[in-house]
Amino acid sequence: MRLRNDGPWGLCSSRQFLWRSSLGQVLYFMESFDPAELPELLKLYYRRLFPYAQYYRWLNYGGVIKNYFQHREFSFTLKDDIYIRYQSFNNQSDLEKEMQKMNPYKIDIGAVYSHRPNQHNTVKLGAFQAQEKELVFDIDMTDYDDVRRCCSSADICSKCWTLMTMAMHIIDRALKEDFGFKHRLWVYSGRRGVHCWVCDESVRKLSSAVRSGIVEYLSLVKNMKNDKCGPWLEWEIMLQYCFPRLDINVSKGINHLLKSPFSVHPKTGRISVPIDLLKVDQFDPFTVPTISSLCRELDVISINEKEREENEADAKPRTRDYKKTSLAPYVKVFEHFLENLDKSRKGELLKKSDLQKEF
Amino acid sequence: MEFSGRLRKKLRLACDQKNACYPHSLQFYLQPPSENISLIEFENLAIDRVKLLKAVENLGVSYVKGTEQYQNKLEAEIRKLKFSYRENLEDEYEPRRRDHISHFILRLAYCQSEDLRRWFIQQEMDLLRFRFNILPKDKIQNFLKDSHLHFEAISDEEKTLREQEIIASSPSLNGVKWESESVYKIPFADALDLFRGRRVYLEDGFAYVPLKDIVAIILNEFRANLSKALALTARSLPTVQSDERLQPLLNHLSHSYTGQDYSTQRNAGKISLDQIDSLSTKSFPPCMRQLHKALRDNHHLRHGGRMQYGLFLKGIGLTLEQALQFWKQEFIKGKMDPDKFDKGYSYNIRHSFGKEGKRTDYTPFSCMKIILTNPPSQGDYHGCPFRHSDPELLKQKLQAFKISPTGISQILDLVKGTHYQVACQKYFEMTHNVDDCGFSLNHPNQFFLESQRLLTGGKDIKKESSQPETPQPKPSVQKTRDAASALASLNSSLETELEGLEDYFSN
């Protein structure tokens, strides 16, 4: 599925593309996103598309630690930029209800605290502490503004996106081979960058100092020196241009809040989707579904389903809605990531029970 | 003969058992001691270790750590105080035992405040670093194993496999023979300082650390453990402090002056009043020099100044009669009525000589006491100029004393690092034109004695032939220790100090 990229990225740009529906019908869609429609779109998204089961499966981490999910902080940005912190939920159904009720424009994930964040005011002063969190990285295209000439600030194009692809390659290799991190989830931020969530059990417990140390290890800070000569000049220029640029503040704080996977970017409408590491070179941010395109797909599905129900005698089991949309492949990537987490967890439990000689 | 053979075996077994308790010349103090000891030994061990840690501190600011000079001097101090430091020496059980027990006693005293903890941890770390650095290579692995540190040296095969990468990543391996260097595999998070600066090879979550870098990591681990231990100790402190025998010692150990008290009238009558002006510029420490000048300028000193200076003068040899004359002469110049002086001030002077009231012969203030208690306010001239003067003002004073600019900046650096007594030592070195003052300053009268010794070549000072007839009862002003227990240690410390002085002065 090749797309034509003409014109710069921006708000409300319209694009045409082909989509093959489940009935083999070829339909044209005008992919346009209007932020004013968000309240309605989000309502639909949170009711029928957001993958709550997988999301809960992730943050619950197998239920091995008591109250791990219940002590997790979420923050919501509501309509009109109302920001509320210290949201926490009892279980998947509670999360679902609240999200559908509040219809957040933005969702951020914070740390796992010592107590339920939504009760933090009742806790004795100083006792409410952030305890664990995934190690996160945020690579933002604006940090490359000094070396890209095609775009600037919030704009991106396929040319400068290569910088992002390179950064993902370099950082992921280092995280995997140098640090031995196994569970790395890369997520498109929805506009101009990517996030990485490292979810290994030991990593979630790392101190702020070690997190800072990891960012320092991964960073090459260099002054722009154009007057350098010598055999390394070409290599240095390459490094200066292409080496990943990380924001240390995002990674070092255990209580730092970062945009949640599968949340919506309020300015572009793009969903923050997981990126398949095996196909990272082919990842194209311009093909990421927007909330409006997804909702339109849902409309089509409803129409088609009604038709089908009228035509068929036996009622097939209802499949989850997102599976019928272009969100499906991204949820699959997420599920693959979750399966690996589960496998690791089982392996750890087996090891522990072997040590304790339990049966 | 069978009998003697068995006896010999028994003795050897007992010796082996002892050595098994302390297999190394250094340790991480993971297990507290469990034997019973006498109160006297408890105190003595504590005092000795305080002396050792103070020496560690002093040497650490006077010499670059790790240099031969530093190591030799530190080794001498440790040996003098009979603590352990080196393997392969005979009869190491007792010094190691002393080291073990004294460390844990000091934990009780030094866990009580953030500052005390920081100081204690710093000196213990420096001491450990020194001991580790002189460990022979073949003993290191055993020591690490026995200390339950998860640092394993990797096999030669593993080393060869990663030779290129490890050498390329570890700047500490520059110029070191690869074959002889051990490499340790540790979890990356334990090598934070190394990997954040990309100075170590990382693979699959492990850091491959050469021996040189392991020391820094071990010290960090030691610091973290000791810090936690001190926090825990502080929590159980109330129980310990409720023991009346221990409470006074623990409360004052960190503030105690553990040297000579300069109260004996050894030099009584050897100073004449007309010498004082010249002595003040030649042999007085800056605190007393400034007090003397203030007295001469203003013909008056407030109470704090009178106490600090008056007792110092007693310590250098002024008799009661001389003191009365000295103060009266000066105060009268300030238009004070002689009768008023007799009524108000002379009583106090006699009191400080132990001739009034409960007849305690007050001892001159140590540096510790001057630095820590009774800070001066506006219009006061007592205290320690290095501690209590604003740096700009101190600079001016030093310039007035004709100290060279380099000397002044060295002194100011030491003051910034809160090393007030070492700064005063530096002042001594500058004013007496020596590279090394040769002593560890902790008392103004010590400054005076050392200065006099230097200037007169030790000839004029009489050899001390006898010990004091009765030890002076502890003055309540000093507040250093409880009377009963202090008596014993005062005796012993005085004895050892006097012994040293005897050798000192006999030339």
pLDDT score recorded for residue A68: 97
Q: Given a cut of 80, is residue B11 above it in pLDDT?
A: no
Please tell me which of A224-228, B18-22, B365-369 the model is most confident about, judged by mean pLDDT: B365-369
pLDDT tens, residue by residue, B114-130:
888 888 999 999 999 99
- What is the phi-psi region of residue A86: left when phi exceeds 0, alpha when psi lies from -120 to 50, beta otherwise? left
pLDDT score recorded for residue B18: 65
Stretch among A80-84, B72-76, B227-231, B394-398 having the lowest mean pLDDT: B72-76
- Rounded CA-CA distance A113/A127 in Å is 10
Q: Which one of A96, A108, A132, A140 is the catalytic residue?
A: A140
pLDDT level of residue B308 (50, 70, 90 thresholds): very high
- The per-residue pLDDT of chain A, averaged, comes to 85
Q: Which residues contact A108 (CB under 8 A, 6 or more apart)?
A: A74, A75, A76, A77, A257, A258, A259, A260, A263
A307 catalytic per annotation: no
Over range B162-177, report the average pLDDT.
85
What is the pTM (predicted TM-score) of this model? 0.63
Q: How far is B117 from chain A (nearest CA, A)?
A: 22
Stretch among B86-100, B200-214, B428-442 having the lowest mean pLDDT: B86-100
- Rounded CA-CA distance A223/A47 in Å is 50
User: 3-state SS of chain B: helix, strand, coil percent to 5?
Assistant: 60, 5, 35
**ipTM for the predicted complex:** 0.82
Is B111 among the annotated ligand-binding positions? no
Over range B298-308, report the average pLDDT.
93
SS3 of residue B385 by DSSP: helix
pLDDT tens, residue by residue, B353-411:
888 887 777 889 999 899 988 999 999 999 999 999 999 999 999 999 889 999 999 99
Neighbours of A281 (CB within 10 A): 11
- Rounded CA-CA distance B196/A212 in Å is 8
Over range B331-339, report the average pLDDT.
87
Provide the residue type at B233 as one letter: T
Torsion over CA: B249, B251, B254, B255 (sign): negative
**What is the enclosing helix (H) or strand (E) of A291?**
helix A291-311
Torsion over CA: B250, B252, B253, B259 (sign): negative
pLDDT level of residue A319 (50, 70, 90 thresholds): low
Only one residue has tokens 């009862």, namely: B473
Question: What is B22-70 written as a DSSP string?
Answer: --SS-----S---S---HHHHHHHHHHHHHHHHHHHHHHHHS-TTSHHH
pLDDT score recorded for residue B16: 59
Stretch among A247-256, B88-97, B188-197, B481-490 having the lowest mean pLDDT: B481-490
Stretch among A15-24, A62-71, B36-45 having the lowest mean pLDDT: A15-24
- Rounded CA-CA distance B474/B493 in Å is 14
Provide the residue type at A130 as one letter: A
Q: Are B354 and B475 in contact (CB under 8 A)?
A: no
Determine which of A210, A239, A243 to mutate to test the interface with B (most B C-beta atoms within 10 Å). A210
pLDDT level of residue A308 (50, 70, 90 thresholds): confident
Over range A64-90, report the average pLDDT.
96
Portion of chain B with pLDDT greater than 70, in percent: 82
Q: Are A191 and A220 in contact (CB under 8 A)?
A: no
Chain B partners of A216 at a C-beta cutoff of 8 Å?
196-197
Determine which of B165, B194, B195 to mutate to test the interface with A (most A C-beta atoms within 10 Å). B195
Stretch among A14-18, A93-97, A349-353, B255-259 having the lowest mean pLDDT: A14-18
Nearest to B204 by CA among B217, B187, B191, B182: B187
The contacts found for B416-422 with CB under 8 angstroms, 24 or more apart, are: B416/B391, B417/B61, B419/B57, B419/B61, B420/B367, B420/B371, B420/B384, B420/B386, B420/B387, B421/B58, B421/B367, B421/B371, B421/B386, B422/B58, B422/B61, B422/B62
Which runs of consecutive H residues, i.e. helices, occur in B236-360?
A: 237-241, 247-253, 276-282, 286-298, 303-316, 320-333, 338-341, 347-352
pLDDT level of residue A358 (50, 70, 90 thresholds): low
Portion of chain A with pLDDT greater than 70, in percent: 85
Q: Which one of A96, A108, A138, A321 is the catalytic residue?
A: A138
Q: Which residues contact A163 (CB under 8 A, 6 or more apart)?
A: A141, A144, A147, A148, A241, A242
pLDDT score recorded for residue A185: 98
Determine which of B162, B190, B196 to mutate to test the interface with A (most A C-beta atoms within 10 Å). B196
Over range B31-36, report the average pLDDT.
88
pLDDT level of residue A33 (50, 70, 90 thresholds): confident
pLDDT tens, residue by residue, A241-299:
788 889 999 999 999 999 999 999 999 999 999 999 999 999 999 999 999 999 999 88
* Cβ separation A179–B198 shorter than 8 A: no
Q: Which residues contact A339 (CB under 8 A, 6 or more apart)?
A: none
pLDDT score recorded for residue B488: 40
Could you tell me which residue, A57 or A307, shows the higher pLDDT?
A: A57
A281 catalytic per annotation: no
Is the Cβ of A178 closer than 8 Å to some Cβ of chain B? yes
pLDDT level of residue A22 (50, 70, 90 thresholds): very low
* Cβ separation A213–B205 shorter than 8 A: no
- Rounded CA-CA distance A105/B152 in Å is 52
Q: Which residues contact A179 (CB under 8 A, 6 or more apart)?
A: A214, B188, B202, B205
* Cβ separation B203–A178 shorter than 8 A: yes
pLDDT score recorded for residue A234: 81
- What is the phi-psi region of residue B24: left when phi exceeds 0, alpha when psi lies from -120 to 50, beta otherwise? beta
Over range B40-49, report the average pLDDT.
89
pLDDT score recorded for residue B483: 38
Is the Cβ of B206 closer than 8 Å to some Cβ of chain A? yes
* Cβ separation A179–B202 shorter than 8 A: yes
- Rounded CA-CA distance B78/B86 in Å is 10
Chain A partners of B195 at a C-beta cutoff of 8 Å?
213-214, 217
Only one residue has tokens 């429609």, namely: A37
Angle at CA B45, nearest 5°, toward B488 and B136?
155
Is B367 among the annotated ligand-binding positions? yes
Q: Given a cut of 90, is residue B507 above it in pLDDT?
A: no
